[in-house]
Structure 1
Amino acid sequence: MADVTYLGADRSPVPGGGLGMGIDIGGSGIKGAIVDLRTGQFVGERHKLLTPQPATPEAVAHSVSHIVEHFGWTGPVGLTVPSVVRSGRVLSAANIDPSWIGVQAQTLFGRALGGRAVTVLNDADAAGLAEVRFGGDPRAADGLVILLTFGTGIGSAMLYNGVLIPNSELGHLEVDGKEAEHQASARVRTDKGWSYPKWSTKVSKVLAHYERIFSPDLFIVGGGVSRKADRWVPLLQVDTPVVPAQLRNTAGIVGAALAVDEGL
């Protein structure tokens, strides 16, 4: 936790001074926190609200405004959505309402937050930014790094020398005629009752395909299943080094705060 001198006289967080705010919008929850941008750690506890149902743009923006008000935050806000985002516009809708497609999310959230500066980006992209900056592996800062989040699908982030290449969506690439996330996501493992050794063969097949196309220098694997990385990462059969993500469920918030701080 950051030093309390980062708080104003009324105990509210003061923008600047190495602090930022990130909000991670998911299918079940919307989570936000103040982030110490020097360390990647939260200042105090995160605040979470259930994602409204239906998760329409206006309903989600209303919940986001409540999270910002909870912290008394007055500065810029970074936000993630489980979608392809180009120039602030949402182009897909995974785990949120289809009415998001085509919405200018930057305008939507800026209006809901009183006209302040906002940055909106894909949730896996935000996680990639956070892991490369704060994950602790020095190899992540050089060359081509691919972060993959294994959950309901396979999210992805690509960074070259620490610079984000947005909206990679590698989980939708076909591997032997079938989308990668339909054969190697964590949900597929659970639904089919596969052991970690069996599932690792499917993941290896997907990673080997990505190797052939992109020749990455490092894979970072995240998602909830990374908590049990010792049970499957050592079994992967690929030439590229593979390391488990370190920030886990804080990565989206941290990456969102980084993105708005750096004007992405």
Structure 2
Amino acid sequence: MMALLKMFLRAFLLLQFAMQFLDGAEPQNCHGGVPGTPGHNGLPGRDGRDGKDGAIGPKGEKGEPGVNGQGTPGKAGPAGPTGDKGERGPPGQPSLPARENIADSLKSEIQHLNAKISMIEKAVSFSTFRKVGQKYYVTDGIEASFDNGMKYCKDFGGVIVLPSTALENQALLKVLVSSGLSNKKQFIRVTDRETEGQFVDTEGKQLTFTNWGPGQPDDYKGAQDCGTITDTGLWDDVGCNGQHPIICEIEIR
């Protein structure tokens, strides 16, 4: 045990001597010799205590802008004042029932126009025709009895002519001249077959305009129940079964 202790002390002394030599201290009673090779670095020491806070450094450079991002919405503010009234917007589309009504109305108008065109086509198909207001006076110069003349005009959508004003009476005279029939009396749509002496139209309506010649109608020999017009524009009564030129009146509505 003593030997072991002596060995330990000797090693300790040698270690101290080596440390003094490494630190550059000259050992006592020793001459300077040749330096030995440097030893290996020792292990790092423990971290020292934190020093006192130093002075605040200068302000750093401005950093790069951050990524854009919308923050959460804030609380709703108070309602602002009422703004000016805006311009009126365009009309909206009609509702389905309204569209159907419009479609029906258009169909009705188209049908009416087609019927009107058809009547005009019939009127201008005659050799002589003249537009008088909303009517056409037309003729091909045929002659017939009063009743057959009514049937003839009906086939073309019309009736035997009946002037209802002085202007229409003058227009009828022009048709008589242009058709070459002015030397003959033309039937007009008046009759007193229902009540003798009371001439009405073929629908039984009272006449609003007449242009009877002097002493007419006279019901000569009690057999004159239908009316005619002469080349002077005056009216006269004649027998209904006689053959007279037929001029039809086609109304375009």
TM-score, normalized by length of structure 1? 0.22
Larger Rg: 2
Q: Which has the higher helix share?
A: 1
